Structure 1
Amino acid sequence: MKRLVTLLMLLIVLPSTASAWWNKDWEYKKKISLDTNTLTQAGVTIPDDAYALVRLHTGNFSHFLDLAENGKDLRVLSADEQTPLKFYIEKLDPINEMALLWVKLPKGMATLPEPVIWLYSGNAEAADAQDAAGSFDVAQILTYAFSKDGVKDLTANAHNPSEATSTQSEGGLIGEAASFNGGQWLSIPAAPSLQLKPDQGWTFSSWLKVDQAQASENVVFQAVGAGQKLTLSLKNNLPVIELDDSKSGKKEFTGLLPVELGAWHHVALVASANNLALFIDGKAAGSFPVSLADLSNGVTIGADATHARGFVGMIDQLVISKTARDVNSLNFDVLMQGPNTPLVTYAQDAASDEEEGGESNIVATLNNVTLDGWIIIGMLGVMFVISWIVMIVKVIVLNRNHKENINFEKEFTRLKAEDITQLNREVTDDDEDIEESPILLSLTGGHARFAGSSVYNLYHVGVEEMNRRLVKAVGADVSEQVISDKGINSVRASMESVLVREIQKLNDQMVLLTIAISGGPFLGLLGTVLGVMITFAEIAASGEINVNAIAPGIAAALAATVAGLLVAIPALFGYSYLASRIKIITADMYIFVDEFTTKLSERYS
């Protein structure tokens, strides 16, 4: 019954519906889309191990001041708005209204017709759901974001530097960055999970910004092994790869593409067993055949292992992976993280009370209705169904009755007094059927003439009573037949008795509409009073007095009154219409009794 009543109320009031709202405890959500046109034009697809960088600011997010402390209420969901995604917050500044979130995208997102994720916010009671360590793929063994918390590895490996002399800079590509002045460095000690093995491949990538030319070979990255050192440096804006092997000596390779001054550029070095590939902003800058050894004795950033040949510039979003990343993956990072081609678009913020496709206010209110309220609403639902059945049946039957009355009256008015019995016929199966089921005959139609006409029923009784009072003479002694005044009055009495029964049939079941009209609102009011009593009793027991505690219970209690009115109002309109039709048919019957007895008196008195 609860489902039936809910469906009826939804159909009647037509509330706005929406796609499911993930959790009613969250007030706001935002749709975040990946620009497939940009990806298509660049010939890039979304990798299965991709990360989305969500940049929030006052232009695309209007609820910074509503966020819980440290953004603990932020949640990111997949396109189905059911599956939470792992994420972490690199930067959150509600005062200046900006935030940076990294989201691990679900696998298979490239196959979706619309690659989107959903950002939920607005729940002060929520627990922090950030999971920086769990957000990274196992292949990503080191990630430095250079945030305000210092130089820390965000992955579960915790490859934090043993020495970190770089300066934090506010002018990073993604939040803060690490600034190097030529005498600063990061020393990352050796660890079992930081072994760069060429047989399985590895990748170093980072964003660099250089404001002045590097006259000498200033080191960006150096990895050291047992008998080999691999160095990535810059000289005269060109990337240079040095491979220093204790057995075969030193080899040097210069990249084909420069790192332009004054702008951020993505630099990636992809290593395999017999090759080194260099990429600048996702474009191939050189491929060099080499024989690499395991590099497992530590990594230095911004200088070499002796802290010489220092780099001058800024570094942001430094990542080391233990796999050789493909070109598509690198290009996706360039598009996602870079400043030139925004890959992420942001829809308007949506609130839970205005969501199109989510839970409507009507459904939310019904969810708060108590058991006694549902009992009352269930009773009103029964009354609602019965009243509509009565109205529909009565409309069909009365319309058929009125139509047949009109047809009969047209025929009767053409008769002369001496032909008064001409329209009479024997009782048929249709006449018996209409006594048993008027609605069935009205829907299917009867074959008998004037079947369903209440006026004809009066006529038929009048003719039958008249025939009983006429004495049929035979032979030569035939005189004109006469009915006395008492006989005519007797015929009239018989017709009036049938008229009363016809009126009773016309008014049959109308009392159910009267009950719905008068009883529906009072029954609904009873449910409301009970609901209000229960609400205030619960508030008194809890000791919590505020609008949020009172409003849901009161709204749910008022749902019973709404249900009562939804029963009574249609029943009132239907009753008024049906009463007017019954009044017309009743008047026609009274008029016909007078008309018939007048013709009868004219002919036989």
Structure 2
Amino acid sequence: MRFPNRLRRAVTRLLLTAVGLIAATVVATAPDQAQALTWWKKEWPYRAQLDLDTSAKGAPLSQALGRTPVLVRLHSGNFKFDDAAPNGADLRFVAADDKTPLAYHIESFDPLLGVATIWVDVPALASGATKPIWLYYGVKDAAPAADGAGTFDPDYTSVYHFDGAAGAPPKDRTAYANTAQTAPDAMDQASAIGAGARFTGVGPMIIGASPSLAIKAAGPFSFSAWVRLDELQPRAALYARRDPAGALVVGFNQGTPFVEVAGQVIAAATPLTKGRWTHIAVTADGQAVTLYVDGKTAGSTQAGLPELNGPIAIGGDLPGGDLPTLQAGVDEVRFSRVARPAALLQLDAAAQGADARLVAFKADEKQSGHGFGYFGVILKSVTIDAWVVIAILGVMALASWIVMWSKTRYVNRVDRANDRFLRGFREHGDDLLALAHLDRMNPNERRGLEASSIHRIYLAGAEEILRRARGGGRLVLWGESIQVIRALMDATYVRENQRLAKGMVLLTISISGGPFLGLLGTVVGVMITFAAIAAAGDVNVNAIAPGISAALLATVAGLAVAIPALFGYNYILTRNKAVQANMQVFVDEFVTRISEQYSDRGYAQAAE
């Protein structure tokens, strides 16, 4: 079998290459060891990786986007509230490079209920890709670093989360501070995103006029909101703005979303479901006004907006208007002075809803990651020399597992083939040379005997007998001839034993060398630990224990390599001995039977 031999050479080259690369890495990175083991800031002990998935598995994105406010929902299933500050002041979001902090602000944070909603400013999102960011936490006395105004790009002119106290006018989260003049009728603590407004027909929420909210004639504009209709009313207003130059109204007629602008009405094809949260958006780019429902285009008209500078009504009409006040829940109202792309509105609808799949949490590294828990303390303290030893041991472990798998597979195949050959040999009785004629066998029979080591030994003897019989006449084997046949079979037997033993040396190296390499890493690690303590002049258990425990990790790694290799070696060795015994028994049996059949005495007995 050539595979184990090639495997051994390949593994040997892999081991030598790995040692060379690791040595080069040690030289190149030793000065930067401290930096390689630190996070964004070492004061923050906990972190979690958040993957922003814009592929079909997450929240599909039809085109790449620039700055995007992303909603992150925390709950007890993906976040350990007990390890964070009670108000979430220690939360920090960092970009994928683990260096760049991201602007964010907290809409709600309730450690008792174990829920939180946070908005994070993501610089860019690609289409059909996964973008990681980091959430750091765990410093309970950290100063707040939330930046509401920095979370939204300057083209957002108003954003209302409705996260304030009941009866208080909602605050604008953007830098323009367009706080509402009046409050909604009521507040719902459980809304589309955290808390939200509820309009019961009493009156609208009024937002005063401001330069940042002004719309020029045929100017760009975007409006979006989450809406839950509590009643299907005739022509109730969600957004209303009226000026002498014209008006813009967004509302619902018996549950069907519509937009009125420049004397034209855009209406969706189907009404909304009562009691269900739906994302409604309207954009104007100077040439067309488009209505979106749950991120999908529901209607469009070729028109531009009139000049609008007056106040805005949310959840009803302005004084003097003829539309009734809405009876619905409303949340996350946004105004923009640009026409937001359809891809962003589609993402908002998909990433902010109840079944949002944009943000995927990886395992919290407090439980299984670098720098956390007892094992994390050990990993954090491992020196570069110990990592080199552990890496070499990892290569040895990989090589030993490959050898164990290949050798077990090989000996199993040989054992099964030997059993097939012996059954066939017994079935042919006195015809000792029946299985030597491979050309008379069908392909299936030949394939069944190819892996048999006993068959190869048998062929060594049988072919010698056939060679001697080619001269014609009665074949008589003298004692010297039988010794020649046994010698040929014994030579093949030795080669088969060598095949069985190929690659086993890698297991013996792992068994004997693994613990010694681990011990080397431990000794060097202990030396470095005591040298560092001597240089620092700080002799206490907190300074000694992490380094010693990290140094012992190399010994653990060495034992982890040696113990499986020891069990695998003994198992394969036992199986090899069984195959070897069967081969030796067959050689003795075959030689005895040819001695009986082809000697003068054998012919005489046959004649009688």
TM-score scaled by length of structure 1: 0.57
Q: Quote the Cα distance in structure 2 between the aligned partners of 1:205 and 1:70.
A: 29
Q: Quote the Cα distance in structure 2 between the aligned partners of 1:351 and 1:206.
A: 37
Letter aligned with residue 206 of structure 1: A
Q: Quote the Cα distance in structure 2 between the aligned partners of 1:65 and 1:531.
A: 38
Whether the 8 Å contact between 1:210 and 1:263 is mirrored in structure 2 is: yes
**Partner residue of 1:120?**
136
Kindly indicate whether residue 231 of structure 2 is the aligned counterpart of residue 212 of structure 1. yes
Classify 1:171/1:235 alpha carbon distance in 2 versus 1 (closer, same or farther; 3 Å): same
| Pairwise CA distance, 1:354 | 3.6
Listed one character per residue, the Cα deviations across residues 250-290 of structure 1 (whole Å, up to 9, x for unaligned) are 54443323222121111111123242111111111111223
Q: How does 1:150-299 map to 2 (within 5 A)?
A: 150=168, 151-214=170-233, 216-243=234-261, 250-299=263-312
Q: Quote the Cα distance in structure 2 between the aligned partners of 1:83 and 1:525.
A: 33
Q: How does 1:421-460 map to 2 (within 5 A)?
A: none
Match of 1:312 among 297, 307, 327: 327
**Partner residue of 2:49?**
31
Whether the 8 Å contact between 1:531 and 1:556 is mirrored in structure 2 is: no
| Pairwise CA distance, 1:113 | 5.4
Q: Quote the Cα distance in structure 2 between the aligned partners of 1:87 and 1:138.
A: 15
Match of 2:110 among 93, 110, 133: 93
Letter aligned with residue 140 of structure 1: Y
| Pairwise CA distance, 1:342 | 2.2
Letter aligned with residue 227 of structure 1: A
Kindly indicate whether residue 155 of structure 2 is the aligned counterpart of residue 139 of structure 1. yes
Whether the 8 Å contact between 1:76 and 1:117 is mirrored in structure 2 is: yes
SS at match of 1:70: coil
Q: Quote the Cα distance in structure 1 between the aligned partners of 2:71 and 2:58.
A: 19
**Partner residue of 1:71?**
88
Kindly indicate whether residue 99 of structure 2 is the aligned counterpart of residue 82 of structure 1. yes
Whether the 8 Å contact between 2:156 and 2:174 is mirrored in structure 1 is: yes
**Partner residue of 2:432?**
none
Classify 1:354/1:531 alpha carbon distance in 2 versus 1 (closer, same or farther; 3 Å): farther
- CA RMSD between the two structures: 4.2
Listed one character per residue, the Cα deviations across residues 343-367 of structure 1 (whole Å, up to 9, x for unaligned) are 2211110039941899975685589
| Pairwise CA distance, 1:309 | 1.2
| Pairwise CA distance, 1:180 | 0.2
Listed one character per residue, the Cα deviations across residues 153-212 of structure 1 (whole Å, up to 9, x for unaligned) are 000111111112431112301001100011121111111111123544100110100122
Classify 1:338/1:362 alpha carbon distance in 2 versus 1 (closer, same or farther; 3 Å): closer
SS at match of 1:257: coil
Classify 1:263/1:236 alpha carbon distance in 2 versus 1 (closer, same or farther; 3 Å): same
Q: Quote the Cα distance in structure 1 between the aligned partners of 2:208 and 2:41.
A: 45
Match of 2:365 among 350, 369, 380: 350
Q: Quote the Cα distance in structure 1 between the aligned partners of 2:266 and 2:249.
A: 10
Q: Which has the higher mean CA deviation after the structures are superposed, 288-297 or 129-138?
A: 288-297
SS at match of 1:336: helix
Whether the 8 Å contact between 2:91 and 2:135 is mirrored in structure 1 is: yes
Whether the 8 Å contact between 2:105 and 2:146 is mirrored in structure 1 is: yes
Match of 1:535 among 535, 538, 542: 538
Whether the 8 Å contact between 1:190 and 1:297 is mirrored in structure 2 is: yes
Classify 1:323/1:531 alpha carbon distance in 2 versus 1 (closer, same or farther; 3 Å): same
Instruction: Structure 1: state its 5+ residue gaps.
Output: 368-515, 537-549, 566-605
TM-score scaled by length of structure 2: 0.56
Whether the 8 Å contact between 1:211 and 1:261 is mirrored in structure 2 is: yes
**Partner residue of 2:18?**
none
Whether the 8 Å contact between 2:366 and 2:372 is mirrored in structure 1 is: no
Q: Which has the higher mean CA deviation after the structures are superposed, 88-97 or 339-348?
A: 339-348
**Matched residue pairs, number?**
389
Classify 1:73/1:523 alpha carbon distance in 2 versus 1 (closer, same or farther; 3 Å): closer
Q: Quote the Cα distance in structure 1 between the aligned partners of 2:232 and 2:324.
A: 14
Q: Quote the Cα distance in structure 2 between the aligned partners of 1:521 and 1:210.
A: 67
Q: Which has the higher mean CA deviation after the structures are superposed, 295-304 or 272-281?
A: 272-281
Listed one character per residue, the Cα deviations across residues 467-526 of structure 1 (whole Å, up to 9, x for unaligned) are xxxxxxxxxxxxxxxxxxxxxxxxxxxxxxxxxxxxxxxxxxxxxxxxx9xx99999898
SS at match of 1:119: strand
Listed one character per residue, the Cα deviations across residues 17-44 of structure 1 (whole Å, up to 9, x for unaligned) are 9886322211211111123432688452
**Partner residue of 2:417?**
none
Q: Quote the Cα distance in structure 2 between the aligned partners of 1:257 and 1:209.
A: 15
Whether the 8 Å contact between 1:528 and 1:560 is mirrored in structure 2 is: no
Listed one character per residue, the Cα deviations across residues 296-349 of structure 1 (whole Å, up to 9, x for unaligned) are 112111111117610000001100011011211110111111123422211110
Classify 1:523/1:99 alpha carbon distance in 2 versus 1 (closer, same or farther; 3 Å): closer
Letter aligned with residue 319 of structure 1: R
| Pairwise CA distance, 1:48 | 1.1
Whether the 8 Å contact between 2:45 and 2:372 is mirrored in structure 1 is: no
Letter aligned with residue 203 of structure 2: Q
Classify 1:336/1:521 alpha carbon distance in 2 versus 1 (closer, same or farther; 3 Å): closer
Q: Quote the Cα distance in structure 2 between the aligned partners of 1:177 and 1:92.
A: 15
SS at match of 2:130: coil
Whether the 8 Å contact between 1:198 and 1:272 is mirrored in structure 2 is: no
Q: Which has the higher mean CA deviation after the structures are superposed, 78-87 or 223-232?
A: 223-232
Q: Quote the Cα distance in structure 1 between the aligned partners of 2:308 and 2:278.
A: 26
Classify 1:527/1:119 alpha carbon distance in 2 versus 1 (closer, same or farther; 3 Å): closer
Q: Quote the Cα distance in structure 1 between the aligned partners of 2:335 and 2:226.
A: 12
Match of 2:344 among 313, 325, 329: 329
SS at match of 2:87: helix
| Pairwise CA distance, 1:99 | 0.8
SS at match of 1:115: strand
- Higher-Rg structure is 1
Kindly indicate whether residue 566 of structure 2 is the aligned counterpart of residue 553 of structure 1. no
Listed one character per residue, the Cα deviations across residues 122-149 of structure 1 (whole Å, up to 9, x for unaligned) are 1124221110111110111100011144
